[in-house]
Amino acid sequence: MRILLIEDEKKVAEFVARGLRAERFAVDISNNGQSGWEMASAYNYDLLILDLMLPGLGGTEVLKRIRRQKSQVPVLVLTARDGTSEKVENFEAGADDYLTKPFAFAELLVRVKALLRRGTTDRSSVLRVGDLEVDRLAQQVRRAGKRIELTSKEYSLLEYLVANAGRVLSRTMIIEHVWDESFEGLTNIVDVYVRHLRSKVDVLHPCKLIRTVRGVGYSVSDEPET
Ligand code: CA
């Protein structure tokens, strides 16, 4: 599941992102309303966490624009204010839930999961490539019906590859998505994790789903290899 966090307070953004990533969510951060709005319109997020007091374009305006585009993405509003009239205004603008700062991460997580469950009742949470299934809500992986146990990072990497099945993803794209932006290790970390994934997902099966695209990166596909 991919979450966009629009929050200008660096400490809050890092705290929330770290916690969500530990729960296997992929998190993109925007620190202002304009770029947040652009990211929300450009990518297909599963959930938005939106601060109200933002430099430039305010959170309520971001929310209104998103809804004007007919986007149904669940939006959890985060704010330091707790005035009733403001809550009403934001619910009317299309917020799905509201959390007042300061908050405990556990409460944020419960609300995020509830919103994601609601959002996926009418569309399947299961991604499929060939006989591989990734249930994004339960965070479970099966191949040919058999459950595969993955570590947190392995799961995030596989979910990203499968969600983009058929597309080639560069090591840089994978690192930006699966690891923190602050990650400064070597890009061969991706190769190491792909090796782990192959040993769990592909090794027992004649059709290898995880493909190396030489000089570029990786992709997942069940098309016959050329
Ligand atoms: Ca703020």
Q: How far is the CA of 27 from the centre of ligand 1 (A)?
A: 18
Q: What's the confidence (pLDDT) of residue 135? A: 92
Average pLDDT, the chain: 90
Does residue 225 form part of some domain? no
How many whole angstroms from 12 Cα to the centroid of ligand 1? Answer: 9
141 alpha carbon – ligand 1 mean position (Å): 37
H or E, element range at 50: strand 47-51
Q: How confident is the model at residue 220 (pLDDT cuts 50, 70, 90)?
A: very high
Question: Which residues, 6+ apart, have CB-to-CB distance to 98 below 8 Å?
Answer: 76, 77, 79, 87, 90, 91
Exposure b/e, 88-105, CB count within 10 A at least 16 = b: eebeebbbbbbbeeeeee
Rounded distance between C-alpha atoms, residue 97 and residue 111, angstroms: 8
Q: How far is the CA of 51 from the centre of ligand 1 (A)?
A: 6
Ligand 1: centre distance to CA 21 (Å): 21
Q: Return the pLDDT at 125.
A: 81
Quick check: 186 pLDDT over 80? no
* pLDDT above 70 for 45: yes
- In angstroms, rounded to a whole number, what is the distance separating the alpha carbons of residues 97 and 75? 7
Boundary (domain end) residue, out of 121, 149, 180: 121
Q: What is the pLDDT of residues 50-91, one digit of tens each?
A: 999 999 899 999 999 999 988 889 999 998 766 778 788 888
Find the 54 Cα to ligand 1 centroid distance in Å. 5
Q: What is the predicted pLDDT for the residue at 176?
A: 79
Q: Are residues 116 and 181 in the same domain?
A: no
For the four alpha carbons of 134, 166, 190 and 21, in that order, the dihedral sign comes to: negative
Q: pTM for the whole thing?
A: 0.72
1 neighbors 46 (Cβ within 8 angstroms): yes
For residue 20, the CA-to-ligand 1 centroid distance in Å is 19
pLDDT average, residue stretch 193-203: 96
pLDDT one-digit tens code per residue, 125-184: 899 999 999 998 888 999 999 999 999 889 999 999 998 999 999 998 888 778 765 566
114 and 139 belong to one structural domain: no
In the reported structure, the alpha carbon of residue 82 is separated from the centroid of ligand 1 by a whole-number distance in angstroms of 14
For residues 67 and 177, state if they share a domain.
no
Q: How many domains does the chain have?
A: 2
CATH of the domain at 41: 3.40.50.2300
Q: How many CA atoms lie within 13 A of 124 on its CB side?
A: 7
The CATH number for 215's domain is 1.10.10.10
User: Structural domain of residue 18, as residue ranges?
Assistant: 2-121
CA of 125 to the centre of ligand 1 (A): 32
Which of 121, 142, 175 is at the close of a domain? 121
CA of residue 156 to ligand 1 center, whole Å: 28
Q: How far is the CA of 8 from the centre of ligand 1 (A)?
A: 5
Instruction: State the pLDDT at residue 202.
Output: 96
Q: 52 CA distance to ligand 1 centroid (A)?
A: 6
Q: What spacing in Å lies between the alpha carbon of 53 and ligand 1's midpoint?
A: 4
d(CA 35, ligand 1 centre) in Å: 14
